Amino acid sequence: MRILHFYKTSFPDTMGGVEQVINQIASGGTKLGIKTDVLSLSSARVPRTIEINGYLVHRAKLDMQIASTGFSVSAFLQFAELAKKADVIHYHFPWPFMDVVHFLCRVKKPTVVTYHSDIVRQKYLLKIYRPLQRMFLRGVDRIVATSPNYFATSDILAEHSHKVSIIPIGLNKAAYPVPSPEKLAYWRVKLGSKFFLFIGVLRYYKGLRFLLEAAQGADYPIVIVGAGPIETELREQAINLKLRNIHFLGQLSEEDKVALLMLCYGVLFPSHLRSEAFGVALLEGAMYGKPMISSEIGTGTTFINIANETGLVVPPCDPVALRRAMDYLWLHPEDAAEMGRKAEVRYWRNFTADQMIHSYVDLYRELVNPCHPG
């Protein structure tokens, strides 16, 4: 069986949450006899096609970008050629250009779309795009939501509930690097043996300005790993608030990131908008057995982090509640450790890459042979 994934970006060029999901499905599928092509857009001067982790990555030239939506003339031909060879086409939503390609190339293959997020920020453009969005989602064969929480709170998914499946995002812990003793010792000396950790792209919906407000007067270290569009704004806010307990580390290697996950006391994930549909970095905290603090925004973050079981859940945009949650974990190490243990148990029970990959492969087979599911 051959699968074509189509999304605006892909690994190894970028490694956000969606790219990570595609990489996990594609690389894991090879062990089950699935051949995979991934088509994405790229502005870099790189080889058009490369093989990575047992699958092929094809890049179409990115011609322009409007409101976070990439456009490419060459993508039409590349998509049409790859679609001819595919048994199933796997789209990753949202990306309006993808809908256009789907219709203009007149796809006649079984289709599945993983619905990663509602469109939250571009409200005016959404009014223009809405008819195409509805037509696209109505036309695909199956839609996958990444958590029951998101499915239950998305008006768009409710319109197509008859063909929605829930497949949680999964991670393969064995694929993560094991930090060297020297690396662990370096960060232990630099940050101490007890600190809170945030990992992620520094975007508008991550709730980090509320975290900085919550950090005022606290004496525990808070480490922020990642770069992004609002990094300068956040650094200026920290200076204006005279915060001495915030450590901005920028973008780090995977080994450094894992070292910090292993060493940290707890994971912070204060995202306050539905743009944060799941929270892969939050799941990484659970995978490494850390207690978590997240906000209730009706998405997968509270499917990963169960309130008062695997961590604490606070209202979004509420620095006071966030501060109380951090104080509680900091002052109750036994409770924090128990939450971390339960978080890791929940990861192994619900969120491994193997579970996700097998669920998708079963879905592919059902689409190709609807009379013989599985």
pLDDT at 44 over 80: no
Please check whether residues 142 and 192 belong to one and the same domain.
Answer: no
Give the chain's length: 374
Does the residue 116 lie in any domain? yes
Please check whether residues 165 and 92 belong to one and the same domain.
Answer: yes
Does the residue 374 lie in any domain? no
Rounded mean pLDDT, 184-188: 98
Does the residue 336 lie in any domain? yes
- 270-322 pLDDT tens trace: 999 998 999 999 999 999 999 999 999 999 999 999 999 999 999 999 999 99
Please check whether residues 162 and 188 belong to one and the same domain.
Answer: no
The residue range of the domain holding 21 is 2-172+352-368
Does the residue 331 lie in any domain? yes
Rounded mean pLDDT, 264-269: 98
Beta-strand pair 196-199/222-225:
parallel
pLDDT at 179 over 80: yes
Q: Measure Cα distances from 215 to 62, 98, 359 in Å.
A: 40, 41, 41
CATH number, domain with residue 360: 3.40.50.2000
Lookup: tokens for 116: 């990663």
Whole-number pLDDT of residue 154:
92
pLDDT at 374 over 60: no
Please check whether residues 322 and 197 belong to one and the same domain.
Answer: yes
CA dihedral 210, 216, 218, 221 (to 10 degrees): 60
CA distance 182 to 125: 50
Q: Which residues contact 360 (CB under 8 A, 6 or more apart)?
A: 25, 29, 90, 144, 167
Q: How confident is the model at residue 126 (pLDDT cuts 50, 70, 90)?
A: low
- 236-263 pLDDT tens trace: 999 999 999 999 999 999 999 999 999 9
Please check whether residues 200 and 281 belong to one and the same domain.
Answer: yes
CA distance 230 to 208: 9
On average, the pLDDT of the chain sits at: 94
Angle between helices 74-85 and 96-104 (to 10 degrees): 60
Please check whether residues 165 and 219 belong to one and the same domain.
Answer: no
Whole-number pLDDT of residue 370:
80
Instruction: Count the domains in the chain.
Output: 2
Residue 40 carries which DSSP code? Answer: E
CA distance 20 to 33: 20
More reliable by pLDDT, 121 or 302: 302
At 215, give phi and psi (nearest 5°): -80, -10
Long-range contacts: 100-104, Cβ < 8 Å, 24+?
100/132, 101/6, 101/75, 101/76, 102/136, 102/139, 103/132, 103/135, 103/136, 103/139, 104/76
Please check whether residues 271 and 291 belong to one and the same domain.
Answer: yes
Lookup: tokens for 47: 């080889």
Please check whether residues 144 and 293 belong to one and the same domain.
Answer: no
Task: Evaluate if pTM is beyond 0.85.
Answer: yes
pLDDT at 11 over 90: no
Please check whether residues 120 and 242 belong to one and the same domain.
Answer: no
Rounded mean pLDDT, 66-93: 93
Residue 96 carries which DSSP code? Answer: H
Please check whether residues 269 and 168 belong to one and the same domain.
Answer: no
- 148-161 pLDDT tens trace: 999 999 999 999 99
Q: Which residue has the tokens 């190490």?
A: 333
Please check whether residues 153 and 219 belong to one and the same domain.
Answer: no
Please check whether residues 13 and 103 belong to one and the same domain.
Answer: yes
pLDDT at 372 over 80: no
Does the residue 373 lie in any domain? no
